[in-house]
């Protein structure tokens, strides 16, 4: 079993950047595709990005438009999400998640979830 803990969120002015981290405990991290989701108030949890086990392949949600960069450091058991040019609509709780499937993009395709980190973007 993998335990995931997100960090790096906070209150940021529009146009700024954030780098979110997801620290994984457990020996299974390297065997999982790892993704980021976000959930804004009153909305469904939304797929942001996923990265393959080795970090070679990536997939992004359609809204990303190049502002999001997903990466992982398997040696550190850590997943990252870089968000640039932050917009107020990026305000959400951001979750990291792990899946045994290949580049999954749906909530129900993930087996492991962190508790989320709040990102708030002010205009």
Nearest Cα to Cα of residue 59 among 33, 92, 77, 31: 33
Q: What is the residue-wise DSSP string for the chain?
A: --EEEEE--EEEETT--EEEEEEEESTTGGGSEEEEEEE-TTS--EEEEEE-TTS--EEE-TT-TT-EEEEEEGGGTEEEEEE-S--GGG-EEEEEEEESSSS--SGGG--EE---EEEEEE-
Res 63: pLDDT: 84
- Per the model's pLDDT, the better-predicted residue between 66 and 118 turns out to be 118
pLDDT in tens, 7-28: 999 999 999 999 999 999 988 8
The model's confidence at residue 75, banded by pLDDT at 50, 70 and 90, is very high
């Amino acid at each position: 079993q993998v335990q995931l803990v997100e960090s790096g969120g906070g209150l940021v002015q529009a146009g700024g950047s954030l780098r979110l981290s997801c620290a994984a405990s457990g020996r299974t991290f390297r065997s999982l595709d790892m993704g980021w989701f976000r959930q804004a108030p009153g909305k469904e949890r939304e797929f942001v990005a996923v990265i393959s086990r080795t970090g070679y392949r990536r997939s992004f949600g359609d809204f990303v438009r190049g502002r999001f960069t997903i990466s992982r450091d398997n040696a550190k058991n850590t997943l990252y999400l870089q968000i640039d040019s932050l917009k107020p609509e990026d305000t959400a709780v951001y979750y990291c998640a792990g899946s045994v499937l290949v580049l999954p993009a749906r909530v129900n395709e993930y087996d492991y979830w962190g508790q989320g980190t709040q990102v708030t973007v002010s205009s």
